[in-house]
């Protein structure tokens, strides 16, 4: 049985934050936003840089918790984004992994780290089979007259661009929205 199919003993302690027990292999996640907020465990009165993710689940049926960005991970985010301001750390893809050599209160523990390398993230390929995305792409093309906003989210082949252009001529305003 692989580790990713096993239950870590720390799962029993139900932390409100992402922990090394939750990450079984390096995982690419998209940070939705980072906020400075009080400790949710109420064990301290400290404020933490807390990353919230766009993904809702880390695995099917398992909610993805926010992650405290300690000093090391905050420095990594500064370097990845080129900004020291947490407001600029939104919508950033990162790879979260477990480092088995983190020093914490005199002990060596398993801790979460954000990789210093930008993850390779591929965008989904747009096809008519994805009806909602397809309709949104047609509406965006009609609105903008180009593919710039569409290609921020998906990969569009030349063939699909031609099809979107053709279909956008045949769609009544408001129909593809």
Q: What is the pLDDT of residues 65-124, one digit of tens each?
A: 999 999 999 999 999 999 999 999 998 999 999 999 998 889 999 999 999 999 987 778
Q: Measuring CA to CA, how many Å separate 158 from each of 72, 78, 125, 151, 168?
A: 43, 37, 12, 12, 15
The verdict on residue 124 lying in a domain is: no
Three-state secondary-structure class, residue 174: coil
Same domain, 107 and 143: no
Residue 14: band (very low, low, confident or very high) from pLDDT cuts 50, 70, 90 = confident
Same domain, 94 and 30: yes
* Strand pairing class (62-63; 67-69): unpaired
Output phi, psi for 117, to 5 deg: -95, 140
Are 106 and 146 in a shared domain? no
Number of domains in the chain: 2
Q: How confident is the model at residue 2, as a pLDDT?
A: 62
Domain-embedded: residue 91 = yes
Q: Which domain holds residue 45?
A: 3-114
Instruction: Give the pLDDT confidence score for residue 36 in this predicted structure.
Output: 98
Same structural domain, 85 and 31: yes
Write down the pTM of the prediction: 0.66
Report the mean per-residue pLDDT for the chain: 88
Our CA dihedral for 173, 127, 149, 86, rounded to 10 degrees, sits at 130
Would you say residue 120 lies in a domain?
A: no
Domain co-membership, 85 together with 166: no
pLDDT at 12: 61
């Amino acid at each position: 049985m692989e580790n990713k199919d096993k239950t870590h003993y720390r799962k029993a302690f139900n932390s409100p934050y992402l922990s090394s027990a939750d990450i079984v292999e390096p995982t690419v996640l998209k940070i939705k936003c980072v906020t400075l907020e009080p400790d949710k465990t109420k064990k301290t009165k400290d404020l933490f840089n807390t990353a919230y993710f766009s993904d809702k689940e880390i695995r099917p049926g398992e909610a993805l918790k926010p992650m405290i960005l300690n000093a090391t991970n905050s420095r990594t985010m500064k370097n990845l984004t080129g900004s020291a301001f947490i407001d600029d750390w939104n919508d950033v893809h990162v790879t979260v992994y477990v480092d088995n050599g983190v020093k914490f209160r005199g002990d060596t523990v398993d801790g979460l780290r954000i990789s210093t390398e930008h993850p390779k993230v591929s965008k989904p390929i747009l096809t008519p089979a994805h009806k909602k995305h397809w309709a949104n792409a047609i509406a965006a093309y009609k609105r903008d007259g180009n593919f710039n906003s569409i290609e921020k989210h998906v990969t569009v082949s030349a063939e699909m661009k031609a099809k979107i252009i053709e279909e956008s001529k045949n769609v009544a305003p408001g129909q593809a929205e």
